[in-house]
Structure 1
Amino acid sequence: MASGVEVGKLKRAPLRRWLSGGVTRDYRDPQYPTVRLRANGERTKASIFLVFNEQNVTRWRKVGTWPDLCIDTFLEQLPATLAERAAGGEVMFGQFVTVADVVTWYAGHVADNTTMSVSWRRNVRSIVTRHLIPRAGQLPLASLSWSDLDSALVKSMLADGYSPRYVVEVVSKLKTAFSSAAGLRLLDSNPLAGFKPSVRLPKALDARLYDSDLGELFKLLSETVMVQAMLFVLMMMFGTRINETRQARWDQFTGDVWVIPPSNTKNGNELRLPLTKSARALIDHYRRWQLANVGKRAWLFPGRGQAPIAVRTAQDWSVGLRFKYFTSHDIRRLFRTIIAEIGIDTVIGELLLNHSLPVLLRTYVQSSLNAGVSQALEQYHQYLIERGFNQIAPEIIPRSHSDLGNGQSQMASGWL
């Protein structure tokens, strides 16, 4: 948006012409020197500010949004507002009166920000609606104390059994909301700058998975219901993230490749994963099982309506899979560790994990190492088979590799 200030009358017609003109960012009327309007990015609305000089510092205090706030009504009330401020009254927070006002604004502010991942924006909305508003939303900004906030939010969440790490995450989102509002001059200052919750985080747990854990992991997966086991089997076979895997569609498996579109990946780059013989057999068997037991679906892991399972559902499945403390992402870390230990080229490993690579290196990989990616997955899948992968899906593994295991388990029986 262009910078600069347009001078005119604070009337509806001139303001509409200014917004539609798209030339200057700010608007002022010499008759009202303390009032300034600033257009939003789409030039559909304008924030109304009171601008003061206090101790040689210019301060902007938002008091509303035009045309949501009638400009005529605002100007009628302006003398009383300025008189109230001169007498020490609070006008600095404008439309923000409580904590709920700030966090509600922030959830809307990031809702359409495509530079942030969809899952992150959903997490913000969930935290705002489930915790911040019910627990601390009623606290007034004008007299907000850290002690009251800590009691209303932190101590109440701990008392309700939430983990200290999750409480810290919730507080972090709250502080980000206030910091963003202050950065955009919607708050005169950030009342939470420096706030630290009264939480002592536990020592980090050994959340890693090791090669020696494969047997136990295979055993658990073989006893898990088909749909849940398949999610983590795919993650194990390809090192994909849980959010990428849960959104897998049948039309993304074309020929001998699984194509994960940019919209589903963390870095926004398309990921093309070659399907080994074992992977193709696994996916074909799962497709037949889904048709017979669930019906035809667009998604490998269908949820409610025309959508895949929610990320929270996938995470809940992950918790049910634990035989020691680890997260779903540790399956991806184990994938990376194993392919390094069996001698897979580092660049190929980074390509399989869809880590961002320099442009020149990415070009080199695409032109020279595509065959190496397929060979790497063949080598890695053979490594899994030799360590008992047949426990999960015995009918897709050549019988010569090892014993078939228990064909009556929930996962294995589904392949028969």
Structure 2
Amino acid sequence: MRAVGDVVCWWLSRIEGDKARSEKYRRSMGSLMRKHVLPRVGKVPLRKIDRVLLDDKLVFPMHQELAPRSVQKALQALGQAFRMAEGQGRIASNPLAGVTFRDFYKGKLRPKPAALSRVDLQELVPHLVAAFRADPAKGMLPLMMLAHGTRISETLQARWSHVSLDERVWVIPESNTKSRREHVLPLTPQVLALLQRYREALPDPRLKAAWLFPVRGGERMADTSAHALMRQVSGRRWTSHDLRKLMRSSLADIGVDHMVGELLINHTLGVTAETYLTRDAMERRREALERWHNRLDELGFAEAHGAKVAVPAFLPNGATPEQAGDCAESCVSTRRG
């Protein structure tokens, strides 16, 4: 390897062939490195690369076009490529050892502002319910994401076999999660009823598919198609990740403990906190989701699922939700009729 491009292309071949990494990560890294890094520094000899050249040819020009976080990702990927190449003896030494994004950028990296806030719920819920009633095959994905705060990639990989009617849970296998650990979400009466209505609305060919969100031919909906669906439903005003952020920020309003909220969206809490919550974690998750879905019911969610749940979302501290209605038991049929 004599040039920066040799190292980057070799690293990309390893990353893009690594099935343990998410498809989204592999695709985004490939795009970032081929569109921005390789054209600018791909032909630079390894012996000439240093902080000054990196700033002049890569970092400063990228700052003129991209957000700081995108520049940071490019530098992190470049650093990872060189460390891997050095570790395998493919290059004699790492010319970027010790180089960090902070060498070039001193500003504060602010998270991308959410396009949805809690005040939007009153209009958002009826809008999503209307989309579901008009076409359940299109409206189910955003409703499920708002109801559970799941990532779009995790939601799209859901199979009917991941839904346990006896236990009333949705299991997301560790291979499908960003954290690479199994995530178990309780299914409330509302969601069980929603799943039932959704199944009844699916065309027969799709009903036979293993996936919760199938397309013609039986395969699951592709990520690109799902993002296009979200753009259509939202009118390009918000994204799938905004639904996840909105669900998480709304939990505090209905009295859900911070740690339980973090567990629900599968954030890592640390060994001590997770050990403390182990004994009753599932029960606390279930109660939190019941509160959240009752809150959504107050805003019109019931028009989509049709279940009768006679509990207000804003429960007094220490209260235990009491459920009523036909869907308190598992109600998702695996067959029509």
Q: TM-score, normalised by structure 2?
A: 0.69
Residue 28 (structure 2) pairs with residue 120 (structure 1): no
Distance in 1 separating the partners of 2:69 and 2:273: 38
Any stretches of 5+ residues in structure 2 without a counterpart? 312-337
Shift of 1:386: 0.4
Q: CA offsets per residue over residues 304-340 of structure 1, 9 Å max, x none?
A: 8775333344344444444686543332232222222
Shift of the alpha carbon at 1:143?
Answer: 5.4
Match of 2:58 among 122, 131, 150: 150
Equivalences for residues 3-402 of structure 1 within 5 A? 96-111=1-16, 117=22, 119-129=24-34, 131-133=36-38, 137-141=42-46, 145-146=53-54, 149-150=57-58, 154=62, 158=65, 166=70, 169-182=73-86, 185=89, 186-190=91-95, 193=99, 206-207=113-114, 209-221=116-128, 222-223=130-131, 226-255=136-165, 256-292=168-204, 294-302=206-214, 307-322=219-234, 326-357=238-269, 362=274, 365-390=277-302, 393=304, 396-398=306-308
Is the radius of gyration larger for structure 1 or structure 2?
A: 1
Distance 2:260 2:253 in 1: 13
DSSP 3-state at the match of 2:170: strand
Aligned residue in 1 for 2:319? none
CA contact (8 A) 2:205 2:216 kept: no
Contact 1:154–1:197 (8 Å) recurs in 2? no
More strand by share: 1
Amino acid at match of 2:5: A
> Counterpart of 1:414?
none
Secondary structure class of the residue paired with 2:184: strand
Change (3 A) 1:194 1:274: closer
The answer to whether the Cα contact below 8 Å between 1:205 and 1:325 also exists between their aligned partners in 2 is no
Cα distance in 2 for residues equivalent to 1:245 and 1:370: 20
1:400 to 1:358, Cα distance in 2 relative to 1, 3 A: closer
Q: Secondary structure at the match of 2:202?
A: helix
C-alpha distance in 1, partners of 2:96/2:256? 52
Return closer, same or farther for 1:171/1:347 CA change in 2, 3 Å cut-off: closer
Give the partner amino acid of 2:10. W
Distance 2:14 2:290 in 1: 46
Match of 1:149, SS state, is: helix
- The total of aligned residue pairs comes to 300
Change in CA separation of 1:106 and 1:320 when aligned onto 2, cut-off 3 Å: same
Unaligned runs of 5+ in 1: 1-95, 402-416
Shift in alpha-carbon separation, 1:324–1:295, aligned structure 2, 3 A: closer
Task: Tell me the distance in 1 between the aligned counterparts of 2:47 and 2:232.
Answer: 45
Residues 248 and 172 of structure 1: CA distance in aligned 2, closer, same or farther (over 3 Å): same
SS of residue paired to 2:185 = strand
| Distance in 2 (alpha carbons) for counterparts of 1:238 and 1:348 | 13
SS of match in other structure, 1:272: strand
Residue 347 to residue 153, structure 1, CA distance change in 2 (3 Å): closer
Matching residue's letter, 1:214: L
Q: TM-score, normalised by structure 1?
A: 0.58
Q: Say what the alpha-carbon RMSD is for the aligned residues.
A: 4.1
Aligned partners of 2:126 and 2:228: how far apart in 1? 19
Question: Deviation at 1:374?
Answer: 2.3
Q: Is the 8 A contact 1:99 1:136 kept in 2?
A: yes
Between the two structures, name the one with larger relative contact order (CA 8 Å, sep ≥ 6). 2
